[in-house]
């Protein structure tokens, strides 16, 4: 509550309990240097008219030259000359232009002349001038020294405090005026209402309204305008509208400005523009305040066309745009994405202030022109403009978006020197910048040093932790937020869920899910986030249930569901969801297409892949970047590397991912020399290889027996590109040596590795030992493998096979027992083939297929034909079970890929390729069997196993028996 009565002396007293202003120490403004004035004036009466006319035209220099010439011409004082009028005109001009040095000179001249301040007229003018220039201490000093204080003097002092952003003091002075018995007028109430609006003090504002009605002052239009403005600022929009509707005449532009401003301040931008149209229909011409208010509405609504109409109207008016209008136009154009027009407007301005610079700077940042923002910032400094807190916030944000840590730290240092770093908004922006530059510790240091933190501070820090893989820290900080009793919003919950996903912590994710539901925070964005988390953690049942519960699914919901199915090996379900998505008429985006291409690739269903490719073309997707890379990968995994080259050659792209995908496609199809050739071509472009590129290149060398090339490229990777190899790179080299039957050399390579061998390295050696029947080294590698990775069932199977090859059945049983104790299960061998838009799946010795009798009959015919014509004899050494020889043959004949081949020969037309996918590696006997089938049954057979592709044609395989 404000103090309504102050114990002060009568108005003649020089001492009172009014709020004391601090002494003001002003330097002369560079733009308005002090002008020299003679001491005593002498001037005929016609000269005062000339002076007033010059002052009306706002020409400060000409006014002082005119006055100075008169003073230098007349040496004797003329008592009849209207000195007060001359001083008054000059003081009003100084107040209007904020010319503090010139106003102080006039004050000094009045004191040294015979002009009187006793009647209060000139003293009030001085008080008004100091107040307008923001020198409250000087204004207050003049007020205290006045022997007669009229209502005009009180009004000037109240207005000075209100205009300087000190509404409490303004209201205290008003109540002191009432206590002193000064009769207020409409102007008094106007400035008091302004102070109430600034404080959003509706109670006192309503009280002043009642006082105005009681005294009959509501007939003054400017007072009604002030009432409308006060009510709108206090959030009582209905009363503001009622006052406007009760006005009998609406020909005053200020009244229209008040109601337009009221609508804008309450977010009713369309209504503000409608009122502007009504104002135009009423024939009221707009002024600067109208233009700024309407342009603000256009900015918020992104109505650039309407804003351009306002701009055109201002140009047609024939007057020069003032700085406020120009700034509003710069902001409007920038926010509407018309950055070129904003730049033109900025450069056309005659006068530029800090708002102009900051508007242009933030415009660059908002439109993604971050490098241009940095250049503009340095240009601003070169031209002598000192950046303020708003400038720092914009440029720090640009540095963060660019990931430009050096510039960000430079601006941070500037903020510290200027004392801006204590500002909460600056601190929040610095945290965000360091987070985006992956310097979490710097961001953390700023966060904990901030004395004042708001909700944005906490949210930004939690998001920063989660985005930079500091998952535990993100969760701990969220717990602290809860302990502080702070409100939580969906954005913060989303960051915490991201941390849960990073930790694969499904239990905590479920708790956060429940917390969000209980607190009413569960919006669509969070529902999609939870879908992702459950899918990532393998809880596909929860994911499916939640997806069905979402009422208003968007493209992100559908895409998350597709990704979850693909991630959990449910590619067919992903295809079903994609069909439902199309039927639901959802606008499909690039992320969804990449997900479904991944599903097709995992199934190796070429016909589905071609359908998706056609869909992309029909929907006019831009064929570049990630989409092209996904298409290449899909065709590669569907067994048609020629189609990969067709897609690759469609565009000229300097995308590393695309080159890498193409090299990988050649590698998995045994076309190692083409992979090496592609890498050489890539080196001739501006694209630089990364770790993944070298990994797929070494993989290609490994599966094509290019031993020398593999060793060379490992050295190039280290020496030429300064890339430190990962364990997987070393595993590729071990695999290459092992497949080349250089097992001892591979073992020596492992011992001399600069890093500790991982499970992948020993797995590569173990696989080579299995191929080349080096059981002794294989057993050693198997034990090492199980020591390093005892949770992978595949490792136990490999180890078991090595012991079985040596007929060490006791060790085999021990390995299998360890698997059972740990609850691990071997993935059953499975093969599938696509026929007639349907995928047919087979497991070893499978009899569940509807055509199973026909399939087994066909398989018997195939075996019989191969035995008679090719002399085929089953290699039972590949059966690693302790059973009789005839049982081993039966086991071999029941392998899943043989069933798929038999079905393919039955279900597909003669001469067409048979495409089969297998989840495990093809055994040696099945590889030999398939070669013979391709020759004697004249079919191309494409088999994709767990390692690579095999193209069987006329009794030969693309792998050259090297796999």
| CA geometry: angle 682, 685, 690, nearest 5 deg | 55
Band (581; pLDDT cuts 50, 70, 90):
very high
Other Cβ atoms within 10 Å of 656 Cβ, number:
17
Task: Tokens 């039972």: give the residue.
Answer: 876
**pLDDT, tens digit (0-9, with 9 covering 90-100), for 780-807:** 999 999 898 888 888 888 888 888 888 8
Does the structure show a pLDDT above 90 at 40?
no
Query: How many residues make up the chain in this entry?
Result: 963
Within the chain, how many helices (H) and strands (E) appear? 50, 6
Mean pLDDT of 612-631: 91
**Residue predicted with more confidence, 82 or 477:** 477
Please give the DSSP secondary-structure letter assigned to residue 836: T
Return the DSSP state at 420. Answer: G
Examine the pLDDT at 11 and tell me if it is beyond 50: no
The residue ranking higher by pLDDT, 942 or 622, is 942
Residue 32 above 50 pLDDT?
no
Q: What is the pLDDT of residue 942?
A: 95
CA 98 to CA 107: how far, in whole Å?
15
What residue has token string 């945290």? Answer: 431
The residue among 66, 130, 138 whose CA lies nearest residue 100 is 130
The model's pLDDT over 298-337, given as tens digits with 9 standing for 90+, comes to 999 989 999 999 999 999 988 888 899 999 999 999 999 9
pLDDT at 888: 79
Instruction: Measure the CA dihedral 900/904/905/910, to 10°.
Output: -160
Quickly count: other Cβ atoms within 10 Å of residue 504's Cβ. 12
What is the DSSP track for 296-365? HHHHHHT-HHHHHHHHHHHHHT-SPP-HHHHHHHHHHHHHTT-HHHHHHHHHT-SS--HHHHHHHHHHHH
- Whether the pLDDT of residue 6 is over 60: the answer is no
Give the position of tokens 């109207």. 313
Question: Under 8 Å CB-to-CB from 944, ≥6 apart: which residues?
Answer: 604, 637, 639, 915, 916, 917, 918, 950
66 band by pLDDT with thresholds 50, 70 and 90: low
User: Residue 951: phi, psi to the nearest 5?
Assistant: -105, 105
Grade residue 947 by pLDDT with cuts at 50, 70 and 90: confident
Q: For position 71, what pLDDT does the model report? A: 64
Structure tokens at 493: 């919950």
pLDDT of residue 119: 65
What is this structure's pTM?
0.70
Reported as a single tens digit per residue, the pLDDT across 839-895 is 899 998 889 999 999 999 999 999 999 999 999 998 887 776 766 777 878 888 899
Q: Across the chain, what does the average pLDDT equal?
A: 86
C-alpha span between 523 and 846 (Å, rounded): 47
Bridge partners, residue 952, by sequence? 941, 957
User: DSSP letters along 684-737, please?
Assistant: TSSPPP-HHHHHHHHHHHHTTT-HHHHHHHHHHHHHTS--PPPHHHHHHHHHHH
**What tens digit of pLDDT does each residue of 107-125 get?**
887 787 766 666 678 888 8
Residue 48 CA to residue 41 CA, distance in Å, equals 12
Please determine, for residue 12, whether its predicted confidence score (pLDDT) is greater than 50: no
pLDDT band at 59 (very low <50, low <70, confident <90, very high): low
Give the Cα separation of 229 and 249 in Å (integer). Answer: 18
pLDDT score of 717 more than 50 = yes
Tell which residue, 571, 677, 579, has the closest CA to residue 634: 571
Distant-in-sequence, close-in-space partners of 450: CB < 8 Å, separation ≥ 6: 424, 427, 457
Tens of pLDDT, residue by residue over 246-274, are: 776 677 788 888 888 878 877 889 988 99
What pLDDT score was predicted for residue 88?
Answer: 78
Q: What is the pLDDT of residue 638?
A: 93
CA end-to-end span of the chain: 87
The C-alpha angle 950, 956, 961, rounded to 5 degrees, equals 60
Report which of residues 477 and 248 the model is more confident about. 477
909 has pLDDT over 60: yes
pLDDT-derived band at 765 (thresholds 50, 70, 90) equals very high
Give the pLDDT of residue 468: 94
Q: What is the pLDDT of residues 595-618, one digit of tens each?
A: 999 999 998 889 899 999 999 999
The model's confidence at residue 33, banded by pLDDT at 50, 70 and 90, is very low
Structure confidence at residue 34 (pLDDT) = 46
Name 511's Cβ contacts closer than 8 Å, sequence gap at least 6: none
- Strand partners for 841: 832
Q: How confident is the model at residue 823 (pLDDT cuts 50, 70, 90)?
A: confident
The answer to whether 674 and 641 are in contact (CB under 8 A) is: no
Q: Which residue has the tokens 């030429």?
A: 720
Q: What is the mean pLDDT of residues 516-540?
A: 91
pLDDT tens-digit readout, 680-707: 999 999 899 999 999 999 999 998 889 8
Nearest of 888, 908, 909 to residue 900 by alpha carbon: 908
How sure is the predictor about 182, in pLDDT bands with cuts at 50, 70 and 90?
confident
pLDDT of residue 1: 34
Q: How far apart are CA 166 and CA 158, in angstroms?
A: 10
**Among the ranges given (21-25, 413-417, 422-426), the one the predictor scored with the smallest mean pLDDT:** 21-25
Burial-class residue 29 by CB neighbours within 10 Å (0-12, 13-18, 19+).
Answer: middle
The two tokens of residue 555 are 């493209």
Query: How far apart are the C-alpha atoms of 655 and 652, rounded to whole Å?
Result: 9
Q: Distance between CA 35 and CA 102 in Å, rounded?
A: 7
> What is the CA 479 to chain-centroid distance, rounded?
25
DSSP string, 189-220: HHHHHHHHHHHT-HHHHHHHHHHHHHTT-TT-
pLDDT given at position 27: 35
Each residue of 201-240: pLDDT tens digit?
Answer: 889 989 999 988 888 888 787 888 888 888 888 878 788 8
Structure tokens at 120: 């209060």
CA distance 504 to 479: 18
């Amino acid at each position: 509550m404000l103090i309504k009565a102050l114990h002060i002396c009568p108005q003649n007293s020089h001492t009172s309990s009014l709020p004391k202003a601090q002494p003001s120490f002003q330097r002369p403004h560079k733009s308005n240097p002090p002008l020299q004035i003679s001491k005593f004036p002498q001037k005929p009466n016609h000269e005062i008219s000339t002076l007033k006319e010059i002052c009306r035209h706002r020409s400060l220099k000409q006014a002082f030259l005119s006055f100075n010439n008169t003073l230098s011409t007349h040496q004797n004082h003329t008592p009849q000359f209207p000195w007060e009028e001359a001083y008054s005109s000059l003081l009003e001009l100084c107040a209007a232009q904020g010319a503090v040095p010139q106003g102080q000179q006039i004050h000094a001249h009045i004191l040294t002349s015979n002009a009187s301040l006793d009647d209060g007229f000139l003293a009030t003018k001085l008080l008004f001038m100091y107040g307008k220039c923001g020198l409250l201490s000087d204004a207050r000093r003049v007020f205290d020294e006045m022997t007669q204080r009229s209502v005009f003097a009180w009004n000037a002092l109240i207005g000075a405090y209100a205009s300087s952003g000190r509404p409490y003091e303004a209201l205290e002075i008003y109540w002191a005026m009432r206590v002193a018995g000064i009769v207020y007028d409409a102007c008094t109430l106007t400035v008091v209402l302004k102070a109430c609006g600034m404080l959003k003090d509706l109670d006192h504002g309503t009280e002043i309204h009642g006082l105005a009605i009681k005294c009959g002052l509501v007939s003054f239009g400017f007072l009604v305008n002030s009432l409308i403005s006060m009510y709108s600022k206090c959030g009582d929009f209905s009363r503001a509208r009622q006052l406007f509707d009760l006005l009998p005449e609406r020909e005053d532009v200020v009244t229209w400005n008040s109601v337009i401003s009221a609508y804008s301040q309450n977010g009713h931008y369309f209504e503000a523009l409608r009122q502007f149209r009504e104002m135009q229909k009423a024939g009221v011409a707009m002024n600067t305040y109208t233009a700024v208010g309407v342009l603000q509405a256009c900015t918020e609504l992104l109505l650039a066309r309407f804003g351009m109409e306002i701009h055109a109207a201002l140009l047609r008016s024939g007057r020069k745009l003032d700085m406020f209008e120009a700034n509003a136009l710069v902001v409007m154009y920038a926010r509407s994405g018309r950055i070129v027009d904003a730049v033109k407007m900025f450069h056309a301005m005659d006068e530029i202030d800090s708002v102009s610079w900051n508007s242009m700077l933030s415009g660059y940042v908002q439109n993604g022109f971050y490098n241009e923002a940095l250049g503009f910032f340095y240009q601003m400094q070169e031209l002598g403009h000192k950046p303020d807190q708003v400038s720092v916030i914009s440029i720090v944000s640009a540095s963060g978006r660019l990931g430009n840590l050096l510039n960000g730290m430079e601006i941070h240092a500037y903020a510290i020197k200027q004392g801006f770093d204590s500002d909460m908004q600056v601190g929040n922006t610095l945290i965000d910048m360091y987070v985006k530059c992956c310097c979490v510790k710097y961001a953390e240091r700023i966060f904990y040093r901030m004395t004042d933190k708001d909700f944005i501070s906490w949210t930004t820090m939690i998001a920063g932790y989660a985005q930079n893989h500091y998952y535990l820290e993100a969760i701990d900080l969220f717990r602290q937020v809860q302990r502080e009793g702070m409100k939580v919003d969906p954005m913060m919950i989303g960051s915490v869920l991201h941390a849960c996903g990073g930790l694969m912590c499904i239990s905590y994710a479920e708790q956060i899910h429940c917390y969000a539901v209980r607190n009413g925070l569960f919006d669509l964005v969070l529902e999609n986030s939870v879908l992702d988390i459950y899918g990532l953690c393998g809880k596909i049942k929860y994911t499916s249930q939640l997806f069905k519960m979402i009422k208003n699914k968007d493209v992100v919901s559908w895409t998350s569901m597709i990704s979850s199915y693909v991630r959990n090996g449910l590619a067919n379900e992903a295809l079903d969801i994609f069909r439902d998505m199309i039927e639901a008429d959802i606008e499909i985006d690039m992320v969804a297409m990449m997900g479904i291409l991944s599903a097709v690739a995992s199934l190796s269903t070429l016909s589905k892949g071609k359908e998706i490719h056609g869909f992309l073309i029909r929907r006019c997707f831009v064929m570049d970047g990630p989409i092209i890379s996904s298409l290449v990968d899909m065709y590669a995994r569907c067994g048609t590397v020629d189609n990969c080259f067709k897609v690759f050659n469609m565009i000229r792209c300097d995308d590393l991912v695309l080159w890498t995908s193409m090299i990988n496609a050649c590698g998995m199809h045994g076309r190692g020399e083409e992979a090496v050739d592609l890498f050489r071509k890539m080196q001739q472009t501006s694209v630089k290889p990364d770790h993944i590129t070298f990994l797929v290149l070494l993989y290609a060398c490994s599966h094509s027996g290019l031993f020398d090339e593999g060793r060379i490229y490992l050295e190039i990777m280290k020496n030429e590109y300064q890339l430190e190899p990962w364990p997987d790179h070393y595993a590729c080299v071990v695999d290459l040596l092992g497949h080349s039957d250089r097992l001892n050399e591979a073992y020596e390579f492992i011992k001399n590795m600069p890093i500790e061998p991982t499970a992948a390295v020993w797995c590569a050696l173990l696989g080579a030992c299995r191929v080349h029947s080096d059981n002794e080294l294989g057993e050693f590698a198997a034990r090492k493998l199980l020591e390093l990775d005892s949770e992978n069932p595949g490792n136990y199977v490999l180890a078991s096979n090595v012991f079985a090859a040596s007929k060490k059945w006791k060790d085999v049983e021990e390995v299998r027992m360890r698997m059972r104790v740990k609850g691990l299960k071997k993935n059953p061998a499975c093969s599938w083939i696509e026929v007639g838009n349907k995928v047919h799946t087979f497991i070893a010795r499978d009899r569940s297929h509807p055509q199973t009798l026909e399939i087994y009959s066909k398989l018997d015919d195939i075996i019989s034909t191969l035995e008679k014509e090719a002399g085929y004899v089953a290699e039972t050494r590949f059966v690693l079970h302790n059973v009789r020889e005839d049982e081993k043959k039966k086991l071999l004949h029941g392998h899943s890929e043989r069933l798929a081949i038999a079905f393919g020969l039955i279900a597909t037309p003669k001469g067409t390729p048979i495409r089969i996918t297998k989840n495990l590696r093809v055994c040696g006997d099945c590889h030999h069997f398939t070669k013979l089938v391709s020759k004697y049954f004249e079919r191309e057979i494409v088999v994709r196993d767990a390692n690579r592709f095999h193209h069987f044609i006329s009794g030969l395989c693309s792998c050259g028996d090297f796999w």
